[in-house]
Amino acid sequence: MVTFNWSRQKTYLLMGMVICGLLAMIFVTHNQRFYRQPIARVVKVTNGKAQRTEDEFKNVDHQTEQQITAVLMNGKYREKKVTIKNTFSDSQPMDQEYHVGDQLFLSQLVKRDGGLTANPAGQKRDTVVVFLGWLVITILLLTMGRAGTFALISVVIDTILFMIALVLDLHNQGNHVLLIFSVLALIFTAVSLLLVLGPTKKMLATFGSTIVGTTVAILVGVLVLSLTNNRGVYYESMQYVTQVPRPLFIAEILLGSLGAVMDESSDIVATLFELKRIDPNVSRMQLFMSGRSVGKSIMGPLVNVLFLIFMADTFTNSLLYLKNGNSWGYTFNMNMSLGMVQSLISGIGIVLAVPAVSVFGSLLLGRRK
């Protein structure tokens, strides 16, 4: 029979989080005055007749023009009505249909013919973002307790550190991008593990295996790319890059694989510590073999998850390329090749982390026979 441990402290925490959530939602629905960009609430929408369009690749779409009447919610024209024209298509690749009640950011707000006109610049979505953030924090605190609190603190600290690293990279014009993000990866790992696991043997084993697995994977990837002269790797597909793309790509792999390797290492170490708790006389060889067995069972799903994460980012662009008459080969090269390389190098890190964490765990915990 399953029992749920619900304490009075959790009841108070839930009540506090509900109050905080309500206050946050009230704030984000009435915070228009804090924005410099004009914001308006849609009060009337009139849709025109849909017009059929077709390109040279026989792609058929329909475009509809909207006549929108909205009321400004901030700025010097607050409470004034504004007329907005918007055009959206059925596929909505770069446009959007608006409805009554939506709050829109506006651009080119001008007075014309005795009235105000403007162009839509996107929908105000901070309410959704704040609600999802509140929901994640609430579930994390209620289910994980103190561990969830430290995990949340580590996320906040890592976000601040990442922003600092970006500022340093921009300040140095991308000249030391690998050095900056390598140091960032070390700090990420140390801060996250110290906050979640504390200064324990478990933290040392996880930290050592994470650094070893990630470092060796990156070195192997760089070596292979150098020996093959980067053939088949199309750095030009990295959009809007204003720095040398190759170091930036390596830094992206470093940060992308770090989380998966850390996750795998912490799972194996937790299992080894549980074995040590059950049998204090367990030998180092037994712990090593147990770590390898656990690693084999979770290695495959982790590699697949990482592959799907990297490849899912290219899904929409790939569909656009294929829909516009490009071949599968060209579509793969210009959209998916970098994601494939990232998946392969990160997979190397995941595989190498299994023996590394097994060795660290067995040396720290096992008894010499």
| Tokens 């289910």, residue located | 143
What is the pTM for the complete model shown?
A: 0.70
How many other C-beta atoms are found inside a 10 Å radius of the C-beta of residue 111? 11
Alpha helices in the chain (DSSP H): 8-28, 126-144, 146-171, 177-197, 201-227, 245-278, 284-312, 315-323, 328-331, 337-365
Residues near 243 by beta carbon (within 8 Å), at least 6 away in sequence: 169, 173, 174, 177
Are 67 and 83 contacting, i.e. CB atoms less than 8 angstroms apart?
yes
**What is d(CA 180, CA 247) in angstroms, rounded to the nearest whole number?**
11
Residue 22: per-residue pLDDT:
92
CA dihedral 228, 233, 234, 238 (to 10 degrees): -130
Q: Which two tokens stand for residue 53?
A: 């369009």
**What is d(CA 349, CA 369) in angstroms, rounded to the nearest whole number?**
31
Q: How confident is the model over 154-185, as pLDDT tens digits?
A: 888 888 988 888 888 888 877 788 888 888 88
Low-confidence residues of the chain: pLDDT under 70: 1-6, 57, 236-242, 366-369
**What is d(CA 282, CA 211) in angstroms, rounded to the nearest whole number?**
26
